[in-house]
Amino acid sequence: MHQTRQPIDGEAWAQLLRDVGAIWWHDGSAERPHAILTSGLHSNGFMNGDCFKQFPHMMDWAAHDLVSRLEERGLKLKEVDCVIGPAMGAITLAHDVARVIARETGQAVRATYAEKGESGEDRFVFKRTHVLPGERVLIVEDVITTGGSSLAVADAVRRSDGVVLPFIGALVIRHENAKIDGLSIAHLTGFFPHAWEKEECPLCRKGSKAIRPKGRAGWNALTCAP
């Protein structure tokens, strides 16, 4: 692939995320809150993709490196018609990856996103966007923990008669699995804090408050001094 820089390894990407303040770890103090993940699990660590995605040049690097790793996994770029991520976390990533693939192949590649359905629904739908019947779709994510959001997007694509390519591209993974439901995962780096069910959370037992870290108020509550 034609790039102005050489791809960097997983540890270098992890350092970049730390440098921009996207990585948070709990310090063990009961006075500090801990994170509730999208899955509902409690955790002593969190990756805030918004801290990273505010730097367009870094997102461009990430998209190039991720496309390279997807190719290494076996993805044929010319088979990609559309790149889709779950809202809100992967809208920007889908756009950047689609742009890189379009430049490399010389063909048009769409970028769009799926959203959660009505309140109380776990499935994703296309409210303001769409998938064309037969369109070959690459799914991307900012952070994969259980893979639930990626699989929900895949289900939405299939319900729209789109074709899910057997790959997922992720900036960060929080587990060691190479595949989820048959979809091969390419990623830039790993981030492996603990995750517990609410009833088993040792931080809750210590008196630490569990909060949703997404959004400015939640992130500030995690990262600022008590």
For range 71-77, the mean pLDDT: 96
Amino acid in the structure at residue 75: L
Does pLDDT of 225 surpass 50?
A: no
For range 126-145, the mean pLDDT: 93
For range 63-74, the mean pLDDT: 96
Does pLDDT of 224 surpass 80?
A: no
* Distance of alpha carbon 196 from alpha carbon 178, whole angstroms: 21
User: Is residue 196 a contact partner of residue 202, using CB atoms and an 8 Å limit?
Assistant: yes
Strand 110-116 to 82-86 pairing: parallel
Q: What is the pLDDT of residues 165-209, one digit of tens each?
A: 999 999 999 887 778 889 999 999 999 999 999 999 999 999 999
Give the closest residue to 167 by CA, choosing from 110, 83, 101: 83
For range 98-127, the mean pLDDT: 90
Give the closest residue to 140 by CA, choosing from 78, 72, 77, 187: 187
Domains of the chain and any CATH numbers: 24-46+193-226 (no CATH), 69-192 (3.40.50.2020)
User: Is residue 66 a contact partner of residue 99, using CB atoms and an 8 Å limit?
Assistant: no
Does the reported pTM lie above 0.85?
yes
